Each structure stands twice: as C-alpha cells, then as structure tokens.
Amino acid sequence: MEQKKTNIKRKPLFLITGILLLLVITVGIYAYSVIFRPVALKETIYIYIKQKKNYENVVTQLKENKVLPSEKIFRMLAERMNYPAKVKTGRYAISDGMTMPEMIRLLRSGNQTPVDLTFNNMRTAENLAGRISQQLMMDSVTLLHALKDPAIAEKYGFNKFSFLSMFIPNTYEVYWDTGTGNLLERMKSEYDAFWSDARRERAGKIGLTPLEVSTLASIVEEEATYADEYPVVAGLYLNRLKKEMRLEADPTVKFAVGDFSLRRILYRHLEVESPYNTYKNSGLPPGPIRIPSIRAIDGTLSPQQHDYLFMCAKEDLSGRHNFAVTHAEHARNAARYQKALNARGIY
C-alpha cells in the first residue's frame, strides 16, 4: 500500500520535471535559433565607432540598422565574449547572412573595412581638410593645423607654400580611423610613387623640378577649362619662362586676391602685392594655386611644341582660348573678348 502511495507521489514530480525539461529544451532551441539566425540584408550595413569605450553606441547603431534578432540575447553574448571591454574604433561591415556571434567577433577583432578616400578639385588647405574629414573620423581643424605647419611640411620635404603638392588627387584605400600622422605618411608614400623615374625624367626635359611642375600644372588647370588645352597652355607658359617673360596668368591674380569667382580681371587686381601675382613677379609663384590633378600634371609634362606667347578666352565664352604669337594678334583677341564681356554686362 505504501509503495503505491509513493508511486502516486512521484507521478506529479516526474510530470513537473518533464515539463521543466521540455521548457528548457524549448527555450534552448529558441535561443540557439536566435543566436545563429543569419541576418537578412539587401545591402551591407556599416557600423562607425569613434570611441573605444562607447559600447552603448555600438548597440544603438546595430538596433537602428535592424540587424539584431534580439538585443537582450546580443547583450548576453557580448558579455560572455568580453566585447564591452574590447570595443575598438573603426568602420565595420555587417553583411548579409552574418550571425550575432560573427558580428561580435568582427567588432571585437578590430578588422575594419577600408574607406575609399577620394579628393579632387581642391583649391585650398581648408577645402582639402574639409573634404577628407567628411570621409574619415579625422577632425578637419587638426588636419588643417598640420597642413599649415611649416615644421611638418619641412619634415616631408616641402615648405608652407608647396606642401599641398604632396597630395595627388586620386582614390586611396585607407582605414576610417586613420590619424593625421598616418595619413600624411601615406600621402608622402603615394607622392613618391607617383613621381616615378619616368615622370622625373620628363620634368627634367622641360627644365622643371617636380614641385615646379605641380605649380605650373595648377596654373594650367585653372586657366584651361578643357583638358585637351592643357598641353597647349603648358607649352605657352614654358615659352614665356624661357624668354624670361612674366607669366601674367589671370588665375594667379585671382589666387592673390582670394577670389576665384572673378570673371573679369581689372587693373586694380593686377596691382595686388603678392608673391603669387605673376603680373608683378617673374617666374613661377612659390607654390601651387590649387592641388593639380594627375591629368593636369601629365599634360604639363607633355607640353605642345609651338610659338604661342599669349592667350585670351574666346569671345564666345565657351571656356576655350584664342592663342597668339604676337602681342598685336593678342590685342585683337583681347578686344573681342572684352567686347563680349561688355555686351553681357560682366564687370
């Protein structure tokens, strides 16, 4: 009789144990399915981490991008994998099919996805610093201070006038959290690679150093709207340099005045005191008036052979130029251009 009572008592216990076991298995299966559930993404999501200890911001970004099947389980996993104490700055790619453990391992490893850093059509250090800071974690003010520091320029073989020549406009693969020092080292390395023996030899043939080529190319690019005119304009300025004539390049006056929007150069502009004013100073300016493009540099390194000494914008205001050998011919071209400006009310 007592044995029967004992069996009766054990039945509820077995039942409860069975239910608990089933519950544990169900929860385990659910947790497993959530933990290893691949995220479904139409395109890669990027997580940007600016501060090493900003774990909460990382979670926020993951939530906002809807890549967490469960925030609670993610936090539990992250704690077990010691990620909150190992947050690293950078740009990380969360791609389709990744699971939460894979995300955590990626973020914890510091294995970032590089950024394609691009800059072109830059005139000033301010322009360059602003453009780069838009693409990297780098602070624009910090970079600008470095670009204007004569000691830093000298460290890389330049001076305060020529330092921007070190930046060759192109697309570079760099890490998003790259520091100012590392970026400058990279740009110097790219500069040295760009100025190969072949390019240096071409520079020598036209009687210029690489820095002088960059300076002349910057003027050529500002002067010529169309790339097919680069070799023609370069040849013209080289002709003037050989004859020891002042370049009298309008873009250098705009740079000296500080206003590239000028449509018409007046006599008062020509009188501005500046080493960049090639109407008042002989030879090349002390540095580039913009960061010349690779196409402008190569166009300058391959100048067209001709006898032109003068150039003037065409009267159709197309951005192209009339070229002349004599001053009399140039005067006629200039008169037509001035007439066109007057007719359109451009002063």
Output the pLDDT for position 1. Answer: 54
What mean pLDDT value characterizes the chain?
91
Q: What does the alpha-carbon distance between residue 80 and residue 103 come to, in Å, rounded to a whole number? A: 14
Domain count, the chain: 3
Q: In this structure, are 214 and 301 located in the same domain? A: yes
167: phi then psi, degrees, rounded to nearest 5: -95, 105
Percent of the chain with pLDDT strictly greater than 70: 90
Q: Is the pLDDT of residue 20 over 70?
A: no
Average pLDDT over every residue of 226-236: 97
Q: What pLDDT score does 51 carry?
A: 78
Predicted local confidence at residue 41, as pLDDT: 86
Confirm whether 26 is domain-assigned: no
Please check whether residue 329 lies inside any domain of the structure: no
Tell me, yes or no, whether 245 and 185 share the same domain: no
Q: In this predicted model, what pLDDT tens digit does every residue of 291-301 receive, in sequence order?
A: 999 999 999 99
Give the integer Cα–Cα distance in Å for 266 and 284.
Answer: 21
Is residue 178, in this structure, part of any structural domain at all?
yes
CA angle, 218 as apex, 212 and 223 as ends, to 5°? 130
Alpha helices in 81-209 (DSSP H): 100-109, 125-135, 140-147, 150-155, 180-194, 197-205
For 311-341, the pLDDT digits (tens) are 999 999 999 999 999 999 999 999 999 999 8
- Rounded to a whole number, what is the distance in angstroms from the first to the last CA of the chain? 118
Read off the pLDDT of residues 168-218 as tens digits, 9 standing for 90 and up: 999 999 999 999 999 999 999 999 999 999 999 999 999 999 999 999 999
Same domain membership, residue 211 and residue 186: no
Range of the domain at 69: 31-109
Task: Please determine, for residue 229, whether its predicted confidence score (pLDDT) is greater than 80.
Answer: yes
Over residues 247-259, the mean pLDDT reads 94
**Rounded to an integer, what distance in angstroms lies between the CA atom of residue 254 and that of residue 264?**
10
pLDDT at 24: 46
pLDDT, tens digit, for every residue of 25-72? 444 454 545 586 888 889 999 999 997 778 999 999 999 999 999 999
Q: Mean of the pLDDT values across residues 100-111?
A: 95
* Residue 215 forms part of a structural domain: yes
Does 155 share its domain with 214? no
Instruction: Name the more confident of 14 and 275.
Output: 275
Residues 187 and 204 in one domain: no
- Judged against a pLDDT cut of 60, whether residue 225 lies above it is answered with yes
Tell whether 254 and 295 lie within a shared domain: yes
Q: What is the mean pLDDT of residues 274-280?
A: 96
What confidence tier does 23 reach under pLDDT thresholds 50, 70, 90?
Answer: very low
